[in-house]
Structure 1
């Protein structure tokens, strides 16, 4: 990866330039993960900004024990958890829909059905407990290995496997349940 040089640098880098590169390469991933953790666009904006401030401050402390992506996702997860634990968030109830400004429906029937299916799946995933939601996202969206997920979550690989299995089972169970309610065929 192009950021391998960070493992060997302790000082003397232009932090502004490196931060710009990191934001360009991983900014969307950081924001998406923050949104997935907080379920709020505004909070995801704040978390992503805080993450890159922390990265800027700790850039010379990166030891290269994990990939840059894993390091950034770990910082994102911890920052989002701190925000969600704050007294302000606990006092305020936030109602935010997953796709509040979805555009007009696509003209092709298949695209419309795919979009509806994806929204239904994401709605089910977002209802999962945080611990299950985050492993499912890290695995399916970011493609992290079991070891990388364990490093980010600071748990054992066995715990990651268990959570991932439970998350998949919960999603499948919920989708099958909804299919039986609506008379649709089951998801496979």
Structure 2
């Protein structure tokens, strides 16, 4: 957002509390959604989002505008989520939870439109993709990041981003086509 362009020129004397509040208002939901998308856990997404904004508060004067604020926040979110998922404690707890409390909430009976059903079906397929493929699909489809911005966030080449995005789209289309055929529906296009 252009409203945050001034941050790349600030070195000191800025009301960091006010800026943090503005950033949380503008991007808090995006940060939480991205953390959830990576971790599949509401609790972890809550913790990660908080950690991200603590880091932003601490590093506010280090932002130099080499990327957009959104790209910067998503990169911090991704790195924080990866750190959390790498921790041995999280791996043990998540593995324990999978074996002992494998109860997912059932979908709402009050779905109002076919669009919502289709979106849920697509997101269910997307969430089953490997993390590397999910990330690029989310950054491209939901956040509208360019290939270069995605490459910057992921610390990979643009070619790698293109390859992952192509593989992600192909995998989603293949899975949706298979599910449609299993359900006796027309082929997914």
Q: Same fold (TM over 0.5)?
A: yes
What SS does the aligned partner of 1:105 have?
coil
Q: Distance in 1 between matches of 2:57 and 2:91?
A: 29
**1:174-185 → structure 2 map (5 Å cutoff):** 174-185=175-186
The answer as to 2:137 corresponding to 1:136 is yes
**1:105 corresponds to which residue?**
110
**2:72 corresponds to which residue?**
71
Q: Distance in 2 between matches of 1:28 and 1:47?
A: 12
Q: Which runs of 5+ in 2 are unaligned?
A: none
Please report the TM-score for the alignment, with normalisation by the length of structure 2: 0.92
Q: Distance in 1 between matches of 2:140 and 2:128?
A: 17
**1:37-52 → structure 2 map (5 Å cutoff):** 37-52=38-53
Q: Distance in 2 between matches of 1:12 and 1:102?
A: 49
Q: Distance in 2 between matches of 1:122 and 1:5?
A: 36
What SS does the aligned partner of 2:188 have?
coil
Count of residue pairs the alignment pairs up: 183
What SS does the aligned partner of 1:10 have?
coil
Q: Note the alpha carbon deviations across 1:19-77, whole angstroms, 9 max, x for none.
A: 00000000000000000000000000000000000000000011110000000000000
**1:22 corresponds to which residue?**
23
Q: Which runs of 5+ in 1 are unaligned?
A: none
**1:74-153 → structure 2 map (5 Å cutoff):** 74-92=75-93, 93=95, 94-95=97-98, 100=105, 103-106=108-111, 111=113, 113-153=114-154
**2:155 corresponds to which residue?**
154
1:101 deviates by 7.4
The answer as to 2:55 corresponding to 1:54 is yes
